[in-house]
Amino acid sequence: MAKKVLVSGGAGFIGSHIVDRLVRRNDMETLVIVDNFWTGLRENLAHVTDPRVHLVQADVETFATAEKFDEIIHLASPASPPWYMREPARTIKANLVGALNLVEMLNPGGRISFASTSEVYGDPLISPQPESYRGQVDCTGPRSSYDESKRCTESLLFELHRTAGIDIRIVRLFNVYGTRTRPDDGRAVSNFLSQALTTGELTIYGDGLQSRSWGYVDDIVSALERYFWLDNVDYCGPLNVGNDREIPVIDVARHIVSLVPGARLKLCPPIPQDPTNRRPDLTLCRKVLPGWEANITYEEGVRRTLEWFREAVVLKGAQTDAPSPVRLES
Ligand code: NAD
Ligand code: UDP
């Protein structure tokens, strides 16, 4: 039977790559994309001409339609700390109220997939982090609108699964980078690339020894399409998805400095409650998605992203002034 599919946040960085995978499907009747262009860009979808695709500009938490869907993929939420920290109530609404609204649009037997985050582990005390780790999150801290709304949306979906039998898929994504991140997004890799190509000063928050595990978008979206719709996976989640090569922020910046002549590091004050480390335990992921690996090396991923940023920033003159989560000296 041909499926009716809805994606929230489809004009965003990951969402637009998901849309590219969805339009390859021949079992899909319609694809409705709901996005309010808060952090997403219409141009991320400009190349999509498939007549089954309908782009609706709306807030996911108030979007209304008489249609019902067989599959819903809920991605609507900023992921960049300076963006979500500026509008915490809006971030909570996008995730949690958005999910509450979307589950009402499911056809009987329909499935909702949700992009949760490694932020549910907070500043982790164990490494790598398996899905069973309950995390170390401050529910009153500066990252809480994001961390806690992801945690609460996971709770909502698991409870609906338990009490109403709703089919769910929950992934916990670790840091993703790549083409179509907006040049003023403010996250590490994209910020460093934008800065290298403009001011030349790469802002390191704190000593730069805090680490993350950086997954290239094509690898991550390959795991998502298998988990959300391609493989007949009988596992609701939560499922860690990411690249388990952990690299300190300062090494990421130094690598980019080595690729762009004139680029240099600028040490800035630390961000309050910036997690010190993050690395996925992928044991479960490898069982659930046999054969899947994050194959694109960090060096290759950065090379591809740099090429894309050169075109966006240098040739097309995209806005690069990301909001900052710390006070920078002028
Ligand atoms: P993004 O900011 O590029 O995309 C988010 C999209 O959601 C944007 O198009 C934005 O306009 C839209 N949006 C936000 N609030 C909305 C609302 N209320 N109504 C409708 N649309 C709304 O972010 P991304 O990096 O593509 O992240 C996509 C999803 O993956 C998010 O849920 C994020 O939390 C999750 N995630 C991302 C990462 C990562 O490293 N990129 C890591 C963990 C989890
Ligand atoms: N970071 C940095 N300079 C920047 C942007 C980010 O030093 O210009 C650091 C940030 O403090 C954090 C890491 O890079 O320790 C990853 O930040 P990002 O915003 O990409 O993701 P998150 O903090 O959500 O993991």
**Domain of 114, in residue numbers:** 3-176+214-244+279-295+321-329
Output the CA 49–ligand 2 centroid distance in Å: 35
Q: If you average pLDDT over residues 301-309, what whole number do you get?
A: 97
Substitution site in 118, 249, 267 for ligand 2 pocket (most atoms within 8 Å of beta carbon): 249
pLDDT band at 1 (very low <50, low <70, confident <90, very high): confident
In the beta sheet, which residues pair with residue 8?
A: 34, 74
The answer to whether position 313 is within a domain reads no
* 36 Cβ inside 6 Å of ligand 1: yes
Output the CA 243–ligand 1 centroid distance in Å: 19
d(CA 249, CA 236): 32
146 is catalytic: yes
Q: Whose CA is nearest to atom 39 of ligand 1?
A: 176
pLDDT digits 0-9 by tens, 232-281:
899 999 999 999 999 999 999 999 999 999 999 999 999 999 999 999 99
CA atoms lying within 13 Å on the CB side of residue 72: 28
| Number of domains making up the chain | 1
Q: 29: domain CATH number?
A: 3.40.50.720
The one catalytic residue among 146, 177, 227, 298: 146
Q: Whose CA is nearest to atom 15 of ligand 1?
A: 77
The answer to whether position 250 is within a domain reads no
The answer to whether position 17 is within a domain reads yes
Contact of 111 with 236, CB cutoff 8 Å: no
Q: Which of 7, 164, 120 is nearest to 72 (CA)?
A: 7
Collapse the DSSP code of 97 into the 3-class scheme (helix H, G, I; strand E, B; otherwise coil) and give the result: helix
Whether the model pTM is above 0.85: yes
* 268 Cβ inside 6 Å of ligand 2: no
Q: What is the Cα Rg of the chain in Å? A: 19
Backbone angles phi, psi at 122, to 5 degrees: 60, -135
pLDDT band at 323 (very low <50, low <70, confident <90, very high): confident
* 85 Cβ inside 6 Å of ligand 1: no
The answer to whether position 232 is within a domain reads yes
Collapse the DSSP code of 214 into the 3-class scheme (helix H, G, I; strand E, B; otherwise coil) and give the result: coil
The answer to whether position 149 is within a domain reads yes
pLDDT digits 0-9 by tens, 146-199:
999 999 999 999 999 999 999 999 999 999 999 999 999 999 999 999 999 999
The answer to whether position 51 is within a domain reads yes
> What secondary structure, in 3-state letters, does 223-270 show?
HHHHHHHHCCCCCCCCEEECCCCEEEHHHHHHHHHHHCCCCEEEEECC
